Structure 1
Amino acid sequence: MTVRVAAVQLEAVPGDVSRNVAAAARWAGRAVAAGADLVVLPEAVPTGYDATAFGGELPTLDDTGWLAPVQEVVDAAGVVVVLNSALDRGDRRTLTSLVLTPGRQPSPAYDKQHLFQQETQVFTAGPNGAGFHLAGVEFALSVCYDANFPEHAAAAAADGALVYVNSGAYFPGGGHRRDLHKAARALDKGMYVVFSGLVGAPSDFIGGSAVYDPLGRPLVRLGAEEGVAVAEIDPAVVARTRADQRMWSDRRPSLGTRVRRSL
């Protein structure tokens, strides 16, 4: 069974949670109109990716009414949405990927594990990987910088994931690194990668949202404009790719103790 995924690309106004969540809901609606079963939103959509916003008042999970516009789309369409947000958890702040499903409370499924430079001054890294099962397909969650670390996607693949979902925000000059890491994670694990990125304010974020096939080829990719990248996820393609390109099958979980010799 295939799953139709949509990576949304949008601009978030720093600090304007109600405006940004409303925009996320509109774009999720457009993804639904394109036939999406799963909608992935960029990093820190509700607050925008902004240092001042991160240091100010953040959304909490004590009252999830701020998510109502997106939840309404989810409930009406029967779609699943991955929405990443900066959150105030009381004793810590996290960059959390929430999974919104029909008729249920939003689930704080995954906290970003690899914090990027300035993020370490504000946020607490998550303790573990996470994912979810949808229509017979296992999805793994990640946030931006997580994808720079091959072992993060490897842990997901070892746990059965066929799709690596990444919400991000890339600064100008980061396009090569973005595309290389996403394609590499797809190829070396033989899995799909779905990337959803911010564009625009406040740092001229460069987008580049895409869905990569298990050979690391972009099935669809956006530029720096708002939009939706939609593609089919087919588990049979993962199986065929891993049978042919055997890097994942032939990996050695341990390479033993390194031996050094003086010459």
Structure 2
Amino acid sequence: MAQLRIALAQIDTCVGDLEANTCAVVEWARRAADAGADLVVFPEMTVTGYPIEDLALRASFRRGAEAALVRTAGELVAAGLGDLAVLVGTVGEKTTQEHAGAPARPTNQAVLLQHGSVQARYDKHHLPNYGVFDEFRIFTPGDTACVLDIRGRRVGVVICEDIWQDGGPVSQLAADGIDLLVVLNGSPFEEGKGHLRTDLAARRAREVRAPLAYVNMVGGQDDLVFDGGSFVVTDDGTVVARAPQFVEHLLVWDLATDGGPARTAEIAPALDADEEIYRAIVTGLTGYARKNGFTSVVLGLSGGIDSALVAAISADAFGGKNVVGVSLPSRYSSDHSKDDAADLAQRIGADYRVQPIAPMVDAFEGQLGLEGVAAENLQARVRGMILMALSNAEGHLVLATGNKSELAVGYSTIYGDAVGGYAPLKDVDKSRVWALSRWRNRAAVDAGQIPPIPESSITKPPSAELRPGQVDQDSLPPYDLLDEVLDAYVENAEGRAELLARGFDPAVVDKVLSLVDRAEWKRRQYPVGPKVTALAFGRDRRLPITTRWREP
């Protein structure tokens, strides 16, 4: 048997940009051919981008994707790549036997392009319908396994969820016998998921008694982040090749001649947990901004830890000169907060501006006579109005700087600090905000650079500074305790009884649960942000806004 060289092209695509996506297929196919590959495998739904959600239900979109696919087959030949086997994901369609005569339904499809035409198609068998996935609504499942003959080697093809479920095409391929199993994936990032993927892939490789090559997409798409991390495992579960995370990459690996020893290719080192989360957020922000036409961002710089971390993330994503940081001091803003904001801006090279809000707040209060919380919220809303005005005038993407802990308990002002087009820390609790900030500063020191975040922003007590002497702990439990309760209630769906059984103070439990339950309406109106944990607010957690259920 001939040696087979496989290239896994983990690339960044954009939903609906059929021309750019297919141009990328040709470009990366050329790189694969230059590397001597016989087969290049692209991620799930490469032609269309992923996830396409209800775009799949539009026949016009499916026709456009098919036309782009056929055109790509011709362009590969024109580029001298006609002999290269190119396996690529797209949206297909079919009419099921039980609905004969009905309009065709969309399918999640893998297609082999070679010699200028479509050589084979495979429709995804298992459809995920949990967490961020709702594919029962969109796609029609496939019903057969797919085996390709590539240079005399039997290559089985499945798509993403097919390996997460027992039975189906993997079992059929195990019975039929194959030399290699390739898996096309659009697997979103969440902390700790990498180990789950490799463990599962190892199990499936042992099941089919053949190596498994797993290619995953990379980049940000709305609230999802795809981390790449493509890899190959042998039939005994050993990882013999792994691509880096959060970057486009071509991973090349050789399937040895029959009976020969498994070859080892590059194995990218695993990332530290905090670095992984940080890079996921940078990737999500970069993808969202770029794919929606933004090249710069604007945010309020309070001198606190949340805005400091978001500013550092933004500088890593766009370069400091494309970060507009605005200090918006009120009569209650402390000198140290204003100094920390200016210090941060200088460290990252931001476009730093100061816009006092007192005259505008005074004008509103002179007309409305507001007091208490209403007056505090007015300050936040004036700040939000200024940031949105700068966005309108100069074309920046406004970033909301709140974190998951605040979002959980409603500790934000709707139409105030909650304004924006994107919220980088939406799925990062307050305790992790501090950890990420410390990691980023350590990384800078290790690289011989100036730490981007002032130490005082990390160490001082958090405060919204909306009234004299205010600190967050006036209204909330200490964040380490708050995050522990939120993790149990939100992430693990534990009720009041379970929380009390674990020893939490009843007063703390009752306060936190009440705050969380009452804040659902705010969360629904909060900007989109990158999912980095197993359960993010949004698609993962769907609760009614209007409900009278309270934990007994």
TM-score (normalizing by structure 2): 0.41
Whole-angstrom distance in 1 between the partners of 2:186 and 2:230: 10
Query: Which residue of the partner structure matches residue 94 of structure 1?
Result: 107
The structure, 1 or 2, with the larger RCO (C-alpha pairs under 8 Å, 6+ apart) is 1
Whole-angstrom distance in 1 between the partners of 2:235 and 2:77: 28
Query: Which residue of the partner structure matches residue 537 of structure 2?
Result: none
Aligned-pair CA distance for 1:144? 0.3
1:125 to 118, 121, 141: 141
1:157 to 156, 166, 174: 174
Whole-angstrom distance in 2 between the partners of 1:71 and 1:11: 22
Aligned-pair CA distance for 1:158? 1.6
Contact 1:175-1:206 within 8 A present in 2 as well? no
Is 2:72 the partner of 1:69?
Answer: yes
Q: Larger % of strand: which?
A: 1
Structure 1 segments, 4+ long, off by >6 Å, are none
Query: Which residue of the partner structure matches residue 259 of structure 1?
Result: none
Q: Larger % of helix: which?
A: 2
Aligned-pair CA distance for 1:136? 1.6
Correspondence list, 1:1-263, <5 A: 1-50=2-51, 51-56=53-58, 57-60=60-63, 64-73=67-76, 76-77=80-81, 78-89=83-94, 91-103=104-116, 105-117=117-129, 118-151=134-167, 152-173=169-190, 174-202=193-221, 203-224=224-245, 225-237=247-259
Change (3 A) 1:86 1:158: same
Deviations 1:216-249 (A, max 9, x none): 22221112210111111125248x89xxxxxxxx
Aligned AA (1:219): V
Change (3 A) 1:154 1:237: farther
Aligned AA (2:112): V
Q: Secondary structure at the match of 1:120?
A: coil
Whole-angstrom distance in 2 between the partners of 1:131 and 1:181: 21
Instruction: Answer with 92-101 or 177-186: which moved more.
Output: 177-186
Query: Which residue of the partner structure matches residue 261 of structure 1?
Result: none
Contact 1:74-1:81 within 8 A present in 2 as well? no
Contact 1:60-1:88 within 8 A present in 2 as well? no
Whole-angstrom distance in 1 between the partners of 2:210 and 2:77: 26
Q: Secondary structure at the match of 1:172?
A: coil
Aligned AA (1:230): V
Contact 1:58-1:88 within 8 A present in 2 as well? no
Q: Secondary structure at the match of 1:58?
A: helix
Aligned AA (1:21): T
Contact 2:22-2:68 within 8 A present in 1 as well? no
Contact 1:25-1:70 within 8 A present in 2 as well? no
Deviations 1:131-169 (A, max 9, x none): 111212101110001011343323112212111111001
Aligned AA (1:54): A
Q: Secondary structure at the match of 1:20?
A: helix
Structure with max Cα Rg: 2
Deviations 1:64-103 (A, max 9, x none): 4544235433562311011111124451100111111114
Contact 2:73-2:118 within 8 A present in 1 as well? no
Change (3 A) 1:126 1:237: same
Aligned-pair CA distance for 1:52? 4.8
Q: Secondary structure at the match of 1:204?
A: strand
Aligned AA (1:234): A
Instruction: Give 5+ residue unaligned stretches, structure 2.
Output: 95-102, 263-552
Whole-angstrom distance in 1 between the partners of 2:123 and 2:177: 20
Whole-angstrom distance in 2 between the partners of 1:136 and 1:160: 14
Instruction: Give 5+ residue unaligned stretches, structure 1.
Output: 242-263
Query: Which residue of the partner structure matches residue 380 of structure 2?
Result: none
Whole-angstrom distance in 2 between the partners of 1:83 and 1:120: 22
Instruction: Answer with 34-43 or 106-115: which moved more.
Output: 106-115
Change (3 A) 1:138 1:61: farther
Change (3 A) 1:38 1:71: farther
TM-score (normalizing by structure 1): 0.83
Change (3 A) 1:62 1:35: closer
| Residue-pair matches, total | 239
Instruction: Answer with 107-116 or 84-93: which moved more.
Output: 84-93
Aligned-pair CA distance for 1:185? 1.2
Q: Secondary structure at the match of 1:167?
A: strand
Aligned-pair CA distance for 1:108? 4.5
Contact 1:150-1:185 within 8 A present in 2 as well? no
Aligned AA (2:197): R
Q: Secondary structure at the match of 2:92?
A: strand
